[in-house]
Structure 1
Amino acid sequence: MLSTPPLIRRTDASVGTQDPLSRLQRALLQPYDLTGHPLLERQSARESSARTYPRRIPLALRRGRGIYVEDVAGRLFIDCLAGAGTLALGHNHPVVVEAIRRTLDDELPLHTLDLTTPVKDEFVETLFELLPPRFARDARIQFCGPTGADAIEAALKLVKIATGRQTLLAFQGGYHGMTQGALQLMGNLGPKAALGGAVSGVQFLPYPYAFRSPFGLDAAGTSAASLHYIDQLLADPEGGVPRPAGLVTELIQGEGGVIPAPDDWTRQLRRITEGADVPLIIDEVQTGFGRTGRMFAFEHAGIEPDVLVLSKAIGGSLPLSVVVYRGRLDRWTPGAHAGTFRGNQLAMAAGTATLRHLQQEQLAEHAAAMGARLNRALLELQRVHSGIGEVRGRGLMLGMELVDPAGATDPLGRPLAAPERAVRLQRACLERGLIVELGGRHGSVLRLLPPLIITEREVDAVVEIIGESMKTL
Structure 2
Amino acid sequence: MTNYIGPKEILAKKKKYIMPCLGHFYQNPPEFVKGRMQYLYDSTGKEYLDLFAGVSVINCGHCNPEITKAVCAQVNDLQHVCNIYLTENFVNLAEKLAQITPGTLQKSFFCSTGTEANEGALLLAQLYTGNNEFIGLRHGLHGRTKLTMSLTGISMWRTDPHPVGGIHFAPNPNCYRCPLKKHYPECDLECANMLEDIISYATADKVAAFIAEPIQGNGGIIVPPKGYFKRVKEILAKHHILLIVDEVQTGFARTGKMFAIENFDTTPDIMTMAKALGNGAPISAFIARPEIADIYVKPGASTLGGNPVSTAAGIAVVKYITEHNLMENARQRGAQLKKGLQDIQRNHPLIGDVRGLGLMVGAELVNKDKSPAADKLDKIVEQMKDDGFIIGKNGIARNVLAFQPPLVINENDINNMLEALESAIKKYE
- Please state which band the TM-score falls in when normalised by the shorter chain: over 0.9
What are the residue-to-residue correspondences of 1:345-356 with 2, within 5 Å? Answer: 345-356=308-319
Go from structure 1 to structure 2 and tell me whether the alpha carbon gap of 1:104 and 1:195 turns closer, same or farther (over 3 Å shift).
Answer: closer
Q: Is 1:81 equivalent to 2:52 in the alignment?
A: yes
Answer whether contact 1:115 1:343 (CA < 8 A) is retained.
no
Pair 1:108 & 2:108 matched: no
| 1-structure distance, mates of 2:334, 2:87 | 37
Give the share of equivalent positions with the same residue, in percent.
29
Amino acid at match of 2:78: L
* Residue 113 of structure 2, aligned match among 130, 141, 147: 147
**What residue number does 1:203 align with?**
168
The answer for the alignment partner of 1:31 in structure 2 is none
What is the aligned counterpart of 1:313 among 276, 279, 288?
276
TM-score (norm 1): 0.86
Deviation digits for residues 196-223 of structure 1, max 9, x if unmatched? 2625111000011011111111122456
135, 143, 154: which is aligned to 1:169? 135
1:453–1:223 distance in 2 versus 1, CA, 3 Å: farther
- Structure 2 distance, partners of 1:140, 1:343, is 13
Structure 1, unaligned runs of 5 or more: 1-9, 12-34, 410-414
CA distance in structure 1 between the partners assigned to 2:394 and 2:38 by the alignment = 21
CA shift in 2, pair 1:44/1:150, >3 Å: same
The answer on whether the counterparts of 1:391 and 1:400 sit within 8 Å (CA) in structure 2 is yes
What is the aligned counterpart of 2:198 among 229, 233, 249?
233
Q: Secondary structure at the match of 1:151?
A: helix
Which sits farther off after the overlay, 252-261 or 80-89? 80-89
Instruction: State the SS of the aligned residue for 1:289.
Output: coil
For residues 407-446 of structure 1, what are the structure 2 equivalents within 5 Å?
409=369, 415-446=370-401
- Structure 1 match to 2:298: 334
CA contact (8 A) 1:65 1:92 kept: yes
Q: CA-to-partner distance for each residue in 1:84-111, whole Å, 9 max, x for gaps?
A: 1110111011111110122133x22434
Aligned partners of 2:193 and 2:232 also within 8 Å: no
* Shift, 1:311, TM fit: 0.5
Q: After TM superposition, where is structure 1 displaced by more than 3 Å over at least 4 residues in a row?
A: 54-57, 238-241
Which of 87, 107, 126 does residue 160 from structure 1 map onto?
126
Q: Does the 8 Å contact 1:126/1:356 carry over to 2? A: no
Aligned-partner residue type, residue 104 of structure 2: F
Instruction: State how far apart, in whole Å, the 1-side matches of 2:20 and 2:226 are.
Output: 40
Amino acid at match of 1:130: I
Among candidates 389, 398, 401, match of residue 352 of structure 2: 389
Residues 305-330 of structure 1 deviation map (CA, whole Å, 9 limit, x = unaligned):
00000101111320001000012223
Q: How does 1:294-313 map to 2 (within 5 A)?
A: 294-313=257-276
Match of 1:17 in 2: none
Amino acid at match of 1:135: T
Alignment of 1:179 with 2:145, yes or no, is yes
Question: How far apart are the structure 1 equivalents of 2:96 and 2:297?
Answer: 26
1:242 matched to 2:185? The reply is: no
| Residues matched between the structures, number | 424
* 8 Å contact kept, 1:40–1:60: no
The answer on whether the counterparts of 2:98 and 2:107 sit within 8 Å (CA) in structure 1 is no
- 2:426 matched to which residue of 1? 471
- Per the alignment, residue 248 of structure 2 pairs with 285
* Distance change >3 Å, CA 456–CA 46, structure 1 → 2: same
Cα shift at 1:41:
3.2
Query: 2:277, 2:317 within 8 Å by CA — same for their partners in 1?
Result: yes
Give ranges in structure 2 of 5+ residues lacking alignment.
none
Counterpart-to-counterpart distance in 2, 1:56 and 1:156: 38
Q: Does 1:68 align with 2:47?
A: no
Q: Partner amino acid for 2:160?
A: L
Query: Scaled by the length of structure 2, what TM-score is found?
Result: 0.94
**How far 1:431 moved relative to its partner?**
1.1
Moved more, 310-319 or 46-55: 46-55
Superposition RMSD in Å: 1.9
Match of 1:189 in 2: 155
Determine the C-alpha separation between the residues in 2 that align with 1:203 and 1:259.
20
1:40/1:59 contact within 8 Å kept: no
| Pairing 1:205-224 to 2, within 5 Å after superposition | 205-222=170-187, 224=189
Name the CA distance, whole Å, in 1 between partners of 2:331 and 2:196. Answer: 32
- Find the aligned partners of 1:232 and 1:46 in 2 and give their Cα distance: 48
Residue 263 (str. 1) matches residue 229 (str. 2): no
Determine which of 120, 130, 135 is the counterpart of 2:90. Answer: 120
Cα gap change, 1:120/1:36 in structure 2, threshold over 3 Å: closer, same or farther? closer
SS of equivalent residue, structure 1 residue 143: strand
SS in 2 for 1:341: coil
Structure 2: which amino acid aligns with 1:102?
Answer: A
Q: Is the 8 A contact 2:146 2:164 kept in 1?
A: no
Q: How does 1:440-459 map to 2 (within 5 A)?
A: 440-459=395-414
Contact 1:429/1:469 (8 A) holds in 2: yes
Q: Which one-letter code corresponds to 1:453 in the other structure?
A: V
Q: Are 2:79 and 2:307, in contact at CA under 8 Å, matched by a contact in 1?
A: no
Structure 1, 245-254 or 214-223: larger mean CA deviation: 214-223
String of CA shifts for 1:220-266, please: whole Å, max 9, x gaps.
245621122112333x3x55542310000011000000001122111
Preserved CA contact (<8 Å) 2:170 2:195: yes
CA contact (8 A) 1:206 1:214 kept: yes
- Preserved CA contact (<8 Å) 1:57 1:430: no
Q: What displacement does 1:75 show?
A: 1.4
